[in-house]
Amino acid sequence: MAAVLDQHIIIIGGGVIGLLTAFNLASKGRNVTLIDRSEVGQESSWAGGGIVSPLYPWRYSPAVTALSHWSQDFYPQLAERLLAITGIDPQVHKTGLYWLDLDDEAEALQWAARMNRPLTSVDISAVYDAVPVMGGGYSRAVHMADVANVRNPRLVKSLKAALLALPNVVIREHCQVIDFVREGDRVLGVTTDEGDVLGDSVVLAAGAWSGDLLGKLGLALPVEPVKGQMILYKCAADFLPSMILAKGRYAIPRRDGHILIGSTLEHEGFDKTPTENALDSLKASAIELIPALAEAHVVGHWAGLRPGSPDGIPFIGPVPDHEGLWLNCGHYRNGLVLAPASCQLLTDLLVGDEPIIDEAPYAPAGRLNA
């Protein structure tokens, strides 16, 4: 057992996937070095909205659904644990979510009945009673009362603080991974701009940048950057009591009255410059959803890069023919939603525990191109 616990695991990427993977593995007694090319948690994990549900959960495959359901159930206790350890509250805020004027409402309700999820059709007048600031003109709604949002910048801050408090974790920021250290087919570690770091296993969790790194091994990972832009307003704490979503755009209330409006879907490579066109489009959506925001000041506007992947199904597990190399990447629009389950599954597989769910749909085997 001592030899197993002496294992050194290198994690490339300090977003929520890398941070939570590190936390899980360190909690299992492994020694962990987490490497990030900038500061941890500053890319898509910081930029996202933090709805603890896929935007349209009934449109996803059972593979995404299995991860999201496990994560949704786990998030409250994760937040409590991190708050207890660090004093930083990730603010898992259960507001519920109204979907307005869905084209596929019947499919959504059929999915909910099949999956035993509490999604119900509600009279639109009841929605206006519950959310009086909502814009006019909507005629139908479905509602899920138990959907939460997590304040993702605080989640990554609390995860970093929890890792810094552990004696078996090293975080190396502003450290660029350039290549893998190999001996035959075995991956022994990584080459960085500060020298080699050797370990027993390497976990690639670098989000939209994962494909570039895996390309060093001659493997084609179908993960590409997909830009998303958001804007932020500040209102009274009780201004918006629930999340609302219409025409692909959403409004998310934080506990202190901040309102997030998102988001765009843009294929612009690794360019994450915020644009005036997106700002105007997001403002228009904000005012359509909540007319009173026409008088509110935009306090923030930013962009992030999602790790786009086929069908949004992440890659979780060992890389075939490259002993010692593991993937936990490609979560597309649902990195924050799927993080608890994805990171627990990767941990289970790496340490040899019984996996929380069937790992087969996420296995890199058969999904990478040489």
Domains assigned to the chain: 2-48+155-221+311-362 (3.50.50.60), 97-145+224-308 (3.30.9.10)
Above 50 in pLDDT, residue 98? yes
Above 80 in pLDDT, residue 2? no
Tens-digit pLDDT profile for residues 283-295? 999 999 999 999 9
On average, the pLDDT of the chain sits at: 96
Above 60 in pLDDT, residue 3? no
Helices 62-86, 335-351: axis angle to 10 degrees equals: 90
Above 70 in pLDDT, residue 5? no
Q: How many CB atoms lie within 10 A of CB 363?
A: 17
The pLDDT of residue 318 is 98
The pLDDT of residue 4 is 62
Is 120 within 8 Å of 143 (Cβ atoms)? yes
- pLDDT class for 6, splitting at 50, 70, 90? confident
What is the mean predicted confidence (pLDDT) over 30-52? 96
The pLDDT of residue 206 is 98
Above 90 in pLDDT, residue 302? yes
Above 70 in pLDDT, residue 106? yes
Q: Is 8 exposed, middle or buried (0-12, 13-18, 19+ CB in 10 A)?
A: middle
Strands 258-262 and 298-308: unpaired
